[in-house]
Structure 1
């Protein structure tokens, strides 16, 4: 694993211990998580390195075509302006989970489809797909859901949905925190890719900043742009606390050390060594990460989303990141690839 010897493994230790609060209850992981617990919060770099090299086996991830490289993108925790009450300034709803949306766990019927689910709504005695973004917003349909907040800017709200969690600055200067609660079941489609396909932007300018600039100069086409992505994310308000947002494991994620992965191929909570490059650069980015999150656009074996942290600087890095990379899942000795 290129860069393994040079990485500061201690920076990934808090993320691993967070994940062990969940993984430690699972067969196959309880032993290594108990050792991590005994070692404590700050065992020292040499002890951490010995812990991983003694107790884990690295498995390189490869795609179905046997290639070893895949797409590594970035995400972050954004800050948007909003209010708990609607007004002319704050008019874009931030919804909780709709009460009329059904969730069907396919793995309950077909074990081979574990971690896959369908969302829908009931029409008579028939389950049909839940409303798309365009159906919810263009046609005036409103989900049967509580409006948690009202956002000031629809583009900022859209990117908050893409990121899956964030903070809201309220009019009195205080902050609220929200996290992913559910999604309408429709696949994520990149609006940057849509702009490229429409001939509106060249590929190299289809970044978050480029999309925002295009939207600002084409206000009459805003709905057309946003509705190119049929996916719609619903939120829940989270308690105020220090640290990163809550990931798919239900534990806080760590800036620079947490990855979103496809859980069909990488066990949530597993250490993952990533070998890629910094955004818009050939500078190596090689470090131990922890697979603590998932994402609607994260599909495939060698595919990950790198969590950069909170705020504008993290957002700039995340928006520029579209690198090729290699990944190794570190599994406890004796555990075979594909086991959970």
Structure 2
């Protein structure tokens, strides 16, 4: 039984200080309402794009065929539009009421990502950055009100009109490593070899993953280019697939240091999924990364040569460079293709010929792994991220993020939020 106690004590009259505090709160709310009102009022100004699409700004009255196209550059960056056949998306004007979960997103993390976005926003989004910084002190309702005044949502579709796509996820790995080869750490990660740039200029790929392991010419070119040594070739494959990561290196005095390894180039060979290779051979039924790892653990004992064949099935090979950061940036995510640090849960990799870097995007995805309805930013790309309604969701750093990313594969819908 629950007993409810009635408070019979007399309540004291409000003190002078409490009245002052109340007045301060009222004045703050009035001031902030005026700020938001002025920001929304600015939304009546229409910003002309700077030839990124070779078109005038999109508007709600446009037909789908006239919606803007992308060239993969920063949003609004001047340049020659891509040929028509290279476009991979069309944008269809939508109302805010069509954007699922629009009123429910808690946007503080998204606003932190938007501040990162403002490091390299492109000319079309740069005029919004002053308001974005002011709204760091605002509420989510303030932010939503401002966005509705300044941005127009467009549903992203494929060129044949399909609005349903695919969401996967990626993360920043963290592995133990050694600065020198030693027992237990014998798998190298390399900086770009000298011949890589020449091969790129000639338009030809460099040695494949198998050739890097077996060809004397490739091995000679990479000698002395080691940036770290890992314990397991599977960890190296993960870093190659993710494109960047962190390694924990033990110092001689017993301390450890964390080294960021950033993408520095690839051999320009096509990416092939090891999960697809295993499925095609009937070796697994679960192609999530946890399912792949379970097979690897078993096969490393029973058939290590088959594990090696699986590794070689992906000819693409990634090279790294050590990234130095200031103390203030130490905890930020890796830099994506846009050139800004990624934010866990708020950055996505996209097809750069569907959505340009720097664009705010509303993401909606429901499935067995997560239900996501939130504001994100197109800040990265990937060799496997191709198509109009296609995104790779940045999950964060470390094993927990890796477990989430390894299981994520479900349906997706996207809305770009474009300046009016």
Normalising by structure 2, we get a TM-score of: 0.70
Of Structure 1 and Structure 2, which has the larger fraction of its residues in strand? 1
1:316 is matched with which residue? 403
1:84 equivalenced with 2:172 (yes/no): no
SS at match of 1:75: strand
Match in the other structure for 2:412 = 325
Distance 1:56 1:65 in 2: 25
Q: How do 1:216-235 residues align onto structure 2 when only pairs under 5 Å count? A: 216-218=297-299, 219-235=304-320
Write the mapping of 1:192-211 to structure 2, written as runs, cut at 5 A: 192-202=275-285, 205-211=286-292
Q: Which string of whole-angstrom CA distances, capped at 9 and with x for unpartnered residues, describes residues 233-265 of structure 1?
A: 111111251121111122111111110111111
Q: State the Cα deviation string for residues 197-224 of structure 1 (Å, max 9, x = none).
A: 011111xx12212222222222222221
Query: SS state of the match for residue 146, structure 2?
Result: helix
User: Does 2:390 align with 1:303?
Assistant: yes
**Is the contact made by 2:135 and 2:142 (CA closer than 8 Å) also made in structure 1?**
no
Any stretches of 5+ residues in structure 1 without a counterpart? 104-118, 334-340
Offset from partner CA, 1:288-314 (integer Å, 9 cap, x none): 111111111111111100111112111
1:35 correspondence with 2:107: no
Q: In structure 1, what is the Cα distance between the partners aligned to 2:221 and 2:147?
A: 48
Structure 1 residue aligned with 2:160: 65
Residue pair 1:259, 1:290 contacting (<8 A) in 2 also: yes
Using the TM superposition, give the Cα deviation of residue 176 of structure 1 relative to its aligned residue in structure 2, in angstroms: 1.1
> What stretches of structure 2 of length at least 5 have no aligned partner?
1-98
In 2, Cα distance between equivalents of 1:227 and 1:89: 22
Residues 1:132 and 1:49: Cα distance change in structure 2 (over 3 Å) = same
1:127-164 deviation per Cα after TM superposition (whole angstroms, max 9, x unaligned): 53211112112334227352111111110110111111
CA distance in 1, matches of 2:120, 2:213: 38
Aligned residue in 1 for 2:337? 248
What is the deviation of 1:21? 1.3
Shift of 1:41: 3.4
Q: Which has the larger radius of gyration?
A: 2
Higher relative contact order (CA 8 A, sep 6+): 1
- Note if 1:7 corresponds to 2:136: no
Change (3 A) 1:236 1:42: farther
* Secondary structure of residue in 2 paired with 1:65: coil
The within-5 A match list for 1:268-279 is 268-278=357-367
**Deviation of 1:91 (Å):** 1.0
Question: Number of aligned pairs?
Answer: 307
CA RMSD of aligned residues (A): 1.8
CA contact (8 A) 1:259 1:305 kept: yes
**Corresponding position: 1:267 with 2:347:** no
Single out whichever of 212-221 and 267-276 deviates more from structure 2: 212-221
Cα-to-partner distance string for 1:179-212 (whole Å, 9 max, x where unaligned): 212121122111001100011111xx12212222
TM-score by length of 1: 0.85
